[in-house]
Structure 1
């Protein structure tokens, strides 16, 4: 081989080595933790899709306890609800409004864990439903009407429902009547076996003829707005922006619609991605 050709070959190989050594490693995919619960899985896929829309690799990782996984570093982001998180870290708080609950929650988070923005227009908090006849007799469709008619109140709930209040304002009641499913519970309400039944503000299974009592200001039931928790100092500015921007576009109606799609058998990831495609971030 002639010297000139040899030198060219050596230089070419050196250039390849320099390029290979200088190439940055592929970005690590951020794990968004969630339990197998359909609603939590849906929320995790929403935040993962939001991160991907800003150019960050992200995936959902199903874990038994997302908060433990967040603390250990097994996942980097965990979606949750403000009231449930506040009760987890500071049981018995008296905060009720969305801003009060969020501020109180931020104040009791474990060291190393930060909270993103909460969804001011999306919530899934406990709500009480009554028949239209009951609401008419009470003369109101607000939750305060239930407090005013507390005497003899009989409250129903689906068995194993979590995080339900044991009182609303000054109104307390006896043991909750438990039912195996919503259909049975609502039938019992129509039959007069219970006066009111627990559901939630994003529930999609409430019959049209029933009335969900509105919890107007000042709130009587603790707020449950969606909020992302993440490991402090692990997400860059663009990634934090991605999960925060979801707070400005998600509302309760959209959450209920997506929950309905998942309940009908659609994959939570495709539901989340389709919704985000129709409601792009960064506008």
Structure 2
């Protein structure tokens, strides 16, 4: 469905119609219309900027940051959080039912174009803007990323003078990288590490125990996402990837073209402040401190001077 946008003065005069439409929508099987216990969802308004999020705590925190910043700028918002994964929400984004969504450049690019060979942040962003469906706009991407890494313990990095993935080629003996099973066949898996950096790595399918295996020393390198709270709570470090072997996946706001001009100044200011370290800190607030996304967002926006 298309997302009609009315002037705020007109919207106030059409409340009765909006109520009738909302009642009709309750019978829809659309996942966006399903009832939720989350008090942050709000009520529907044809004049609101509808913000969505994945069913992923980190993504919901960023969506809540967007929402509060826009509200601070006197822009009405409606929250449609925890929708699910890309297959569930992208049709709604493309249709205009959702106006703003925090996405990840590399992952979204692969979803839209699985033949892409772009990997660096700028190249991925440029490629993404070229394949976005009509009616969608990519606002400024953030330095913050949530992407694969080749990560080691700080002690192992110090012992072997490791700074980049290339430095793994200097380590004597067997060096094993642990990850989900599919990592072995990824374009940035062990074969790519050998081709690009000359690092010969054995592979272990450690799956959900990857971090524990790294800390226990049963593997020496781990594929851990760059925004994982463990980068703040554990003594680990991601090795640099100067050749951009790993697909860059920076946080990027995807907006409907009909609201992009209205919201871009507010949202781009957030992207300018959101680093990977900041994103890790936000995730720690959720997973360790057990704060709600709304509280995390408010604290961060105030600390950054954005509200």
Fold match by TM threshold 0.5: yes
Larger of the two Rg values belongs to structure: 1
Other-structure match for 2:56: 37
CA contact (8 A) 2:144 2:274 kept: yes
Describe the SS at the equivalent of 1:229.
Answer: strand
Other-structure match for 1:249: 273
Give matches, 1:254-273, under 5 Å: 254-263=278-287, 264-273=289-298
What's the RMSD between the two structures over aligned residues? Answer: 2.9
Other-structure match for 1:110: 133
Other-structure match for 1:277: 302
Match of 2:262 among 233, 238, 243: 238
* Structure 1 residue 24, shift from structure 2 partner: 4.2
Q: CA deviation digits over 1:109-146, x for unaligned, max 9?
A: 11221111111x32222112224454355433211223
Other-structure match for 1:18: none
- Structure-2 separation of matches of 1:279 and 1:109: 30
Other-structure match for 2:223: 198
1:125 aligns with 2:147: yes
CA contact (8 A) 2:118 2:124 kept: yes
Q: TM-score, normalised by structure 1?
A: 0.78
Other-structure match for 2:43: none
Higher helix share: 2
Match of 2:206 among 178, 182, 190: 178
Q: TM-score, normalised by structure 2?
A: 0.72
Aligned residues: 254
Give matches, 1:65-84, under 5 Å: 65-84=88-107
Q: Which has the higher contact order (CA 8 A, sep 6+)?
A: 1
Q: 1:172 to 1:57 in 2, by over 3 A?
A: farther
CA contact (8 A) 1:179 1:185 kept: no
Match of 1:85 among 108, 117, 120: 108
* Structure 1 residue 259, shift from structure 2 partner: 0.7
Other-structure match for 1:6: none
Other-structure match for 2:26: none
